[in-house]
Amino acid sequence: MNRNCLAVNFCGIAMKNPVMGASGTFGFGTEYADFMELGEVGAVISKGITPLPRAGNPGIRIAETAAGMLNCIGLENPGVDVFLRDILGKAAALPTPLLVNISAGSAEEYGLLAEKLDVAGVAGIEVNISCPNVKEGGIVFGTDPKAAAAVTAAVKRHTKKPVILKLSPNVTDIVVMAKAVEAAGADGISLINTITGMAIDIYSRRPLLGNITGGLSGPAIKPVALRMVWQTARAVSVPVLGLGGIATWQDAVEFMLAGASAVAVGACNFVNHRAVADIAAGLAQYCQDEGIANIRDIVGMAGK
């Protein structure tokens, strides 16, 4: 099967196909080497990296739901310095681009992270703004357009890498957020992040998750994610990375028709370790069957 039809350029990052492993579900890419040829992956988005190491939340951190999963991992990671010293070399050696996802507690810290990651081996930076702003009383960056714009500007000042803002769906109007980060210089927009939810243990009669609430992902959130991609792609001029409940190549096609220039697979990686490669193969077959010269030709077609 000819896969040349899948080659895309996302925010200046050349990719063999438009299917990425989403942050928090694909490790640093190396963890999946036993399950697939990593050259079949369009790109890897690393698990979230913070300025200092984080142990994550105590208690139960994962809960299965009827159509997905809840997690409250708490950004467990080794911190940026250990990542640069011990992990980046191996991850960057994989036959696919590496984007690094970052989180912090202030715009200044985001800028510092971006500066440290402005190195060879990092193809781009995905900025997770679903985090509390410690300097502003805990307000979440991703729910305040001004705060989101400030983070975007800080990151852009400190790196020459493509900067993709990962937006929270837990807002009244996603378009307002998207336009704010675009105006501040974002090269691309990634959406959606998880939706806040919870579970209760009926025997202990207490919240199941150690953090009480967690992020809902998986097929349950696909219709919401698809709607937000549609709205955002029609409102901004920068490329959109679509994710949220993608489990099949048909799901990926829907997101691209809605306006996503590329897609990322998250929770499905835990069900099918080859999900990213399988979806890419399905897209190639779809192009062949439908006579599509390149998959980018379908981007946004549902809105035309």
**Residue list, annotated binding site for FMN:** 23, 47-48, 101, 128, 166, 192, 218, 244-245
Residue 131 is a catalytic residue: yes
H-helix or E-strand containing 14?
A: strand 13-15
Q: Which of 5, 11, 131, 287 is catalytic?
A: 131
What SS3 class is residue 90?
helix
Residue 171 identity: V
Using N-to-C axis directions, what is the helix angle for 249-258 and 275-290, rounded to 10°? 70
Residues of each annotated binding site for substrate = 47, 71-75, 128, 193-194
The number of residues in the chain equals 304
CA distances from 72 to 56, 76, 114, 212 (A): 8, 10, 25, 8
User: 202: cis peptide before it, omega within 30°?
Assistant: no
Residue of 282, 304, 267, 225 whose CA lies nearest to 19: 282
Residues of each annotated binding site = 23, 47-48, 71-75, 101, 128, 166, 192-194, 218, 244-245
Q: Between vectors from CA 241 to CA 155 and to CA 223, what angle results, nearest 5°?
A: 130
Cβ(264)–Cβ(45) below 8 Å: yes
What SS3 class is residue 233?
helix
User: Among all residues, which ones are annotated catalytic?
Assistant: 131
